[in-house]
């Protein structure tokens, strides 16, 4: 266990935000979960008791007749905002006094940094470079993430859970988002920050960074596994595999979705449904490709003269 190495990584000024973000995330997930559970319990109670449902104020917070439904922004909201501003300022001041922003040597194109890391908030994408070519990890994926986020309101047809925390009413939506945000984004950033060392190699926390370590990975391409040699056949084979992933995957999603989410299924139009399936499968494709690499040392699935997947 190399504590010094660990400390160097954890205390690197630009890594401190991530170290801080993890407990913040845990706290807010807890806060959301607590409220979701309270609301879910309330919903369950009201579902079984229609008479109560008619009269209940329908929030998990107390409310008594005679209480005003609305409060003045001044002072009730503004005082919170001022307080928040002061607290943020204090935190920022203390942080800025105790920890200095990094400044390395002057830039030098002839002296490569190893590892050369992107800013921490992009490390998820850089981590994806291990498994995908730059045109996917660096261009297509960010584009799809942005578009994917943008279509969310238009494909989520579930009218429940608008304006309050819940889990039971929106299991699929929330589960998918958690998978995308926590597993595919935050976890990859954590790996990129704390695990990846020189040569973008895997170093467990506390393992000494060895700048001379070489790993002879013998990666194969999927077509090789099937003994396909001609370029044309490789291209066709890859197209079939990738197409098959979306077709068969789409079918599986369909089978599951209409069984376990019949209401959403009924509400969704064909366009909404196919967009949802496309983005879901594309998300799943990331861990799928990672698995192929880690388990079978597969580099490419689809090889063409123009691009490789």
Span 79-118, contacts to another protein by CB under 8 A: 80-81, 84-85, 88-89, 92-93, 95-97, 99-109, 111-113, 116-118
Between 47 and 217, whose beta carbon lies closer to another protein?
47
Q: Are 234 and 223 in contact (CB under 8 A)?
A: yes
Count of residues in contact with another protein, rule CB under 8 A: 100
Residue with tokens 């506390």: 206
Residue 51 contacts another protein per CB under 8 A: no
Residue 199 contacts another protein per CB under 8 A: no
Residue 152 contacts another protein per CB under 8 A: yes
Q: How many CB atoms lie within 10 A of CB 130?
A: 18
Residue 139 contacts another protein per CB under 8 A: yes
Question: Would you give the binding string for another protein spanning residues 219-258, x where CB under 8 A is met?
Answer: ----------------------------------------
Of the residues 55, 67, 212, 218, which one makes contact with another protein according to CB under 8 A: 67
Stretch that binds another protein, among 66-74, 202-210, 243-251, 281-289 (CB under 8 A): 66-74
Residue 39 contacts another protein per CB under 8 A: yes
Specify the DSSP class assigned to residue 108.
-
Shortest Å distance, C-beta 123 to another protein? 10
37/31 Cα distance (integer angstroms): 10
Residues 6+ away with beta carbon under 8 Å from 5: 206, 207, 208, 209
Burial 216-252 (b: 16+ CB within 10 A, else e): eeeeebbbeeeebeeeeebbebbeeeeeebeeebbee
Residue 52 contacts another protein per CB under 8 A: no
Between 13 and 206, whose beta carbon lies closer to another protein?
13
Picking from 129, 98, 164, 179, the residue whose alpha carbon sits closest to that of residue 290 is 129
- Cα-Cα-Cα-Cα torsion 227, 232, 233, 239, nearest 10 degrees, comes to 120
């Amino acid at each position: 266990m190399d504590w010094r190495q660990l400390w160097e990584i954890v205390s690197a000024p630009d890594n401190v935000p991530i170290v801080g973000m993890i407990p913040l995330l845990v706290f807010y997930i807890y806060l959301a979960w607590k409220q979701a559970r309270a609301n879910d319990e309330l919903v369950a109670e009201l579902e079984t008791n229609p008479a109560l449902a008619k009269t209940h104020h329908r929030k998990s917070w107390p409310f008594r007749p005679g209480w005003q439904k609305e409060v003045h922004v001044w002072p009730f909201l503004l005082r919170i905002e001022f307080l928040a501003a002061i607290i943020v300022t204090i935190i920022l001041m203390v942080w800025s006094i105790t920890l200095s922003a990094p400044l390395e040597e002057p830039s030098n194109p002839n002296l490569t940094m190893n590892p050369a890391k992107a800013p921490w908030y992009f490390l998820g994408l850089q981590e994806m470079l291990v498994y995908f070519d730059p045109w996917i990890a660096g261009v297509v994926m960010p584009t799809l993430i942005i578009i994917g986020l943008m279509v969310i309101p238009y494909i989520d047809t579930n009218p429940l859970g608008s304006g309050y925390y819940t889990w039971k009413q929106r299991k699929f939506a929330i589960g998918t988002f958690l998978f995308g945000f926590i597993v595919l984004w935050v976890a990859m950033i954590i790996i990129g920050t704390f695990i990846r060392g020189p040569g973008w190699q895997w170093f467990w926390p506390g393992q000494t960074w060895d700048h001379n370590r070489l790993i002879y990975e013998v990666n194969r391409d999927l077509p090789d596994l099937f003994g396909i040699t001609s370029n044309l056949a490789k291209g066709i084979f890859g197209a079939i595999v990738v197409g098959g992933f979306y077709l068969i995957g789409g079918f599986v999603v369909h089978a599951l979705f209409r069984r376990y989410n019949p209401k959403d299924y009924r509400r969704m139009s064909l366009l909404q449904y196919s967009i949802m399936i496309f983005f879901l499968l594309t998300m799943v494709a990331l861990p799928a490709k990672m698995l192929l690499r880690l388990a079978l040392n597969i580099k490419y699935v689809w090889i063409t003269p123009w691009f490789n997947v």
